[in-house]
Amino acid sequence: MSLRVIMWIVIKYDKKKVSLLEHDLRNKIGENTKIYSPKFLLEKFKRLKKNNKQIHLLGDYCFSFNEKYSQIKYLNQVNYLRGVKYYLEGFKSNQNEIVSFIKYCKSHENEKGFLNPDFYKLYLNKSYKFFSGPFSNQIFKIISLQNKNLEILIGNLKTRIKKEKFLVQPI
């Protein structure tokens, strides 16, 4: 009985060359190569037009899966692909954490593959930053957690908002 080796690596890439990276990974490493980059969909309104913007949770890092990554010759090839800056060392000893994080992200995705606003766990008396809405880029503190509502403090302003309407990030 042989154990199937799960091999996810973490790649830092050039955002301008992401399509070249995806193409090269599939052509040079293998067609069964998977790429995963968790992201939020941010809807902004500007001059009565709705603009959608994708925000990558990991910035310019992504996960890539291929069983061939267990062989050093394929890992060496990854460093020379277009769009790759480097891959993070130590991925072999952190496979469980990587797989667990990816499962957590996928369990908080909507039907379009974007992370839901409930991705981050919210805690009382912690500071967060808005990604969307009229308070975009404002820092606030949670003073009360309820099922669907948050009571927050922005500077001296105390207000109540609905959790699912805004994207927030802990700071």
| Confidence bin at 4 (pLDDT 50/70/90) | low
- Domain holding 76, by residue range, is 8-115
Q: How many domains is the chain built from?
A: 2
Map residue 87 onto helix, strand or coil. Answer: strand
Buried/exposed 41-62: b ≥16 CB within 10 Å, e otherwise: bbeeeeeeeeeeeebeeeeeeb
Q: Is residue 22 part of a domain?
A: yes
* Digit-coded pLDDT (tens) for 107-146: 999 999 999 878 888 888 889 988 777 778 889 999 988 8
- What's the pLDDT at 114? 93
Q: Is residue 40 part of a domain?
A: yes
Q: Is residue 3 part of a domain?
A: no
Q: Is residue 2 part of a domain?
A: no
Over range 16-36, report the average pLDDT.
Answer: 93
Residue 4 has φ and ψ, to the nearest 5°, of -80, 125
